[in-house]
Structure 1
Amino acid sequence: MLQDNRPFASEFAPVNGAQIGGGLLRRRIPHLSVVAFATLIAALSLVPLGFIGWVTVEVGWHTVEELVFRPRVGELLVNTVLLEALTIPLSLALAVTLAWLTERTDIPFPRIWSWLAVAPLAVPAFVHSYAWVSLVPGMRGLQSGVFVSVLAYYPFLYLPVAAALRRLDPAIEDAAASLGLGPWGVFFRTVLPQLRLAVCGGSLLIALHLLSEYGLFVMIRFDTFATAIVDQFQSAYNSPAANMLGGVLVACCLFLLGLEILLRGNERYARVGSGSARPADRRRLGWFVVPAILLPVALAVLTLGVPLVTLGRWLYLGGADIWRLDTVGNAFLQTIVLAVAGGVLATIAAAPMAWLSVRAPGRFQRVLEACHYYVGSLPGVVVALALVTITVRVALPLYQTFATLLVAYVLLFLPRAMVGLRASIAQAPVELERAAMGLGRTPAQAVRQITMRLAAPGFAASVALSALGITNELTATLMLSPNGVETLATKFWSLTSEIDYVSAAPYAVMMIVLSLPLTLLLYVQSKRTAGQ
């Protein structure tokens, strides 16, 4: 049943003339204050983009030409294009095949294989790299980068594709088969086109992660824009070269966003009517069941078996001595504090925009919402570089403080917080807000006491998603964390940089333990989205 979610679409009848102006005023002031707060957050999210423009104007076009149009940038650009062009198609083929096997065939134990396909997300990408470099010390270069990237990131495609397959109307496939199409024809001409949105969205996620990833590629000695920017930053703080590389990286991000919009197209994929009530028939694999099972088994071994065995080996070699409470415990506590604080702040910052997008949609609100979402596509290294430069030049006391680090976390994980909050607010009936205002509550009280209480589960989920993302964040934390602050990710990274893989193992284990709830939450949410 459709409902009007706009809180100010209709006014309650006033008791007397004196209440008319006051009632209208009380109803509209909170609306304006919410817009003002959302505008402030949107302006803050534009800081990294404005920083790139500011630096470009400041250094002048001649310097920009010298720093951007040089062989080193061309080499990094070629590396990036090759990495994206090889990783995404391989991840796509792997994810679609696995999703088809687990959702549309009679493969034994499909739920187990489906969970194991998502579980690699609990292992940070740089821990994947750490495990493989430990096992094969000679791994380096483009081929190794593509191999580890596919293993670490293909679940970002598997999740939306599997969810889309669950939602497809099987009657469409039956109609295609009745017209003479064989199984392959049905798949490529009716099923695959309906997966376009899932494929484009998952591919964009992987592409953006490849642009922003630092630890994975440093360990296998493959140069990307992110690794070059951090190297420039560490060798010369606030160098124009690092800033210009950041500008090129932002241009790459915007290009990928535009390309995804172009490839997604304007086609409609919503069915008219309820569609077929029955679930899709699972195709019998017959003799092909054995090689079909080998695919998820091999993936589980490569994505989970190798990291767990490698970590187990290093833990065994280190013994109980490497589990030191003064270091591991301190990093664990600091990670939890930063993750919870950053997650709560990101969710609070996203709340006004999430409420506006549901209750008062419009052109201006859509612009504000786009500003909230775009910043999540920027690599952490660019956001950190912008905040470093601004604090050094404008607000030096804020350089390498908790406040600046938390601002970076809010910017990076604002979109994650928006998604959960918006869905929960949309499920809270607006009529309850109107009824509360009719009983004398101000709009602010109605939203706080009614809507936000009903949206509390979504608020908690948004905090959890953001907090667990912060747990594994590396580049922004490396560049912005105050002296003496070491999270699990930064401590792990400092030890692996010293080739002390034994001492680094406990930190990797703790990151995986903290990431497991996020993985489970994503898996359960994908099932709910598909109506299962």
Structure 2
Amino acid sequence: MPGIVAAAVALLPIGYLFVRAGEAGAAEVWEILWRDRTLWLVLRSLGLAAAVTSACVVIGVTLAWLTTRTDLPGRRVWGVVAALPLAVPSFVAAYAWISVVPSLAGFWGTFLVLTACSYPYVYLPVAAALRRVDPALEEVSRSLGRSALRTYLTVTARQVRPAAAAGALLVALYALSDFGTPSLMRYDVFTRVIHTSYRASFDRTPAAVLSLVLVVLTIAITVAEARSRGRAGAARVGGGAARVPPTAPLGRARPLALVGTTAVAAVSLGYPAVVLTYWMARGNSAGLEWERLLPAGASTLWVALLGALAATALAVPVGVLAARHHGRAVRTIEHTTYAGHALPGIVVALALVFFGVRWAEPIYQRTPLLVLAYAVLFMPAAIGSVRAAVAQSPPRLEEVARSLGHAPGAVLRRVTLPLAGPGIAAGFALVTLTVMKELPATLLLRPTGMDTLATRLWTETGVGAYAAAAPYAVALVLLAAVPTFLLTRAQARLVAPRRTGTAMENGHVLEETGGD
């Protein structure tokens, strides 16, 4: 039932789109679908998503391996730095590039910005999975004569594949649904054209039809990801690896690894920081508007935490179902929850305005409706992390707990969720950071008189006041960087291998579940 509720929440905007499209009639809908421009938008959007996802998988998996399994100098620091681009809103990074290099507008600029801001969606779950992989399996593979590369491809990579697939899915959906970067880079994809259609005409039908096409693409991508994931499991017998995984020496490749990690950090963090510092210096003489900056920061943190709590609460039952059951009904629920994530924030916001005015007037232009929009948009960020974490936790422990007389709810609370804690924490962190950066939904659904850092930033940049916008951009990046750092460190401690023996560890788990 909780999974059905989550799916119903995700379907609210889809219902609005069908109502809008249905009002126009089948003839007009087909005319819009068969336009050459529609096919052109499909190809451009899918091409951008594919390019960004491929680059993010390569960068995210490589950085995860370097920071968790090698002797890379300062790997703990690099591990934190690699996650920090999540704190940089994509439209801030896009502005940083386009304001200095106008010729970067178009596909390559959009690709660069989205890749630099999105690769942590792959890096974080893969790094967590690599810390949890049992090194004994790799040692057995090596003892049978397999090389280090073959062992990685056939043993390690197979165990982290669900985490990498979940991260890649989030990147693909983010690339499809992002509005700020394509708009600033002047690259026409679905989101930019849909937004233009809403702003330029009172007729919402073309935008609704294009949004439905975007939903179909999302469902197709999630189905493809589910098929690539397959039915293979990655669970261990125990709550964590008994020993610290061995460290792979980089040898002569160490300088190259350092250059690569430094280059990624420079593009994703260094360059935006330099540009923001420049604009801060330009506008420093005018002074800071503390009476606007502080309330906007407090509002940003408050709605981000509420949105993350709501999205995670809805994501936990869906993630557990997807990891433990493979029936058609479960797959349908999981795929449905991803539908709203691919919609532009403005489409979700307008759908909820329609819902609020007609059926939920008491919460219209109130915080609950804004939180509902965040849950619809960012629930998949939590579902992917929860599902990957539960898939790696051993189902035999749940079976033992049930055999000792515990009810399913008690088993979930005392066994499954504690073992999946790092994944749930990572999902909560991802949603918190993403909500902080959300713009279109916040602009339309925020309570009257409330500003967030993102809305103030957009307001100032909209009138060309780049120096005035810089303090809000810096505050947004710093506010998002703090939970990124803390939650990354907490996640690393939670997934760090315990140094006790496996038997003692399993006994501890059984003791917690009520075993003798």
TM value normalised by structure 1:
0.76
CA distance in 1: counterparts of 2:267 and 2:35, whole angstroms: 39
3-state SS of 1:278 partner? coil
CA distance in 2: counterparts of 1:255 and 1:362, whole angstroms: 18
Matched, 1:525 2:491: yes
Matched, 1:377 2:377: no
1:511 is displaced (CA, Å) by: 1.0
1:272 is displaced (CA, Å) by: 5.5
Task: Find 1:172's aligned residue among 134, 137, 148.
Answer: 137
Correspondence list, 1:40-439, <5 A? 42-237=7-202, 239-271=204-236, 277-340=242-305, 342=307, 370=334, 373-374=337-338, 377-379=341-343, 380-391=345-356, 402=367, 404-414=369-379
* Max Rg structure: 1
1:178 is displaced (CA, Å) by: 4.0
Query: For structure 1, which runs of at least 5 residues remain unmatched after alignment?
Result: 1-34, 436-445
3-state SS of 1:97 partner? helix
1:79 is displaced (CA, Å) by: 1.2
CA distance in 2: counterparts of 1:201 and 1:340, whole angstroms: 23
Query: For structure 2, which runs of at least 5 residues remain unmatched after alignment?
Result: 499-516
3-state SS of 2:167 partner? helix
1:39 is displaced (CA, Å) by: 5.8
Contact (CA 8 Å) 1:98, 1:296: kept in 2 or not?
Answer: yes
User: Which region of structure 1 is more displaced relative to structure 2, 86-95 or 177-186?
Assistant: 177-186
1:402 is displaced (CA, Å) by: 4.9
Contact (CA 8 Å) 1:166, 1:530: kept in 2 or not?
Answer: yes
C-alpha deviations, 1:275-302, integer Å up to 9, x for none? Answer: 9733332222222221121111111211
1:487 is displaced (CA, Å) by: 1.9
CA distance in 1: counterparts of 2:166 and 2:314, whole angstroms: 24
CA distance in 2: counterparts of 1:282 and 1:150, whole angstroms: 28
2:89 corresponds to which letter in structure 1? P
Contact (CA 8 Å) 2:46, 2:176: kept in 1 or not?
Answer: no
3-state SS of 1:407 partner? helix
C-alpha deviations, 1:326-348, integer Å up to 9, x for none? Answer: 43234334434544554566577
User: Which region of structure 1 is more displaced relative to structure 2, 318-327 or 64-73?
Assistant: 318-327
CA distance in 2: counterparts of 1:462 and 1:90, whole angstroms: 22
Contact (CA 8 Å) 1:225, 1:245: kept in 2 or not?
Answer: yes
CA distance in 2: counterparts of 1:357 and 1:196, whole angstroms: 19
> Structure 1 residues 413 and 486, CA, compared in 2 at 3 Å: closer, same or farther?
same
TM value normalised by structure 2:
0.79
CA distance in 2: counterparts of 1:73 and 1:479, whole angstroms: 27
CA distance in 2: counterparts of 1:297 and 1:462, whole angstroms: 26
CA distance in 2: counterparts of 1:421 and 1:299, whole angstroms: 27
3-state SS of 1:266 partner? coil
CA distance in 1: counterparts of 2:321 and 2:143, whole angstroms: 43
Contact (CA 8 Å) 1:171, 1:275: kept in 2 or not?
Answer: no
CA distance in 2: counterparts of 1:202 and 1:357, whole angstroms: 18
CA distance in 1: counterparts of 2:296 and 2:240, whole angstroms: 52
Contact (CA 8 Å) 2:138, 2:155: kept in 1 or not?
Answer: yes
CA distance in 2: counterparts of 1:347 and 1:271, whole angstroms: 25
User: Which region of structure 1 is more displaced relative to structure 2, 514-523 or 242-251?
Assistant: 514-523
CA distance in 2: counterparts of 1:59 and 1:316, whole angstroms: 52
> Structure 1 residues 390 and 68, CA, compared in 2 at 3 Å: closer, same or farther?
farther
CA distance in 2: counterparts of 1:497 and 1:184, whole angstroms: 51
CA distance in 1: counterparts of 2:320 and 2:166, whole angstroms: 24
CA distance in 2: counterparts of 1:510 and 1:212, whole angstroms: 25
3-state SS of 2:232 partner? coil
User: Which region of structure 1 is more displaced relative to structure 2, 201-210 or 225-234?
Assistant: 225-234
3-state SS of 2:102 partner? coil
2:296 corresponds to which letter in structure 1? A
1:529 corresponds to which letter in structure 2? V
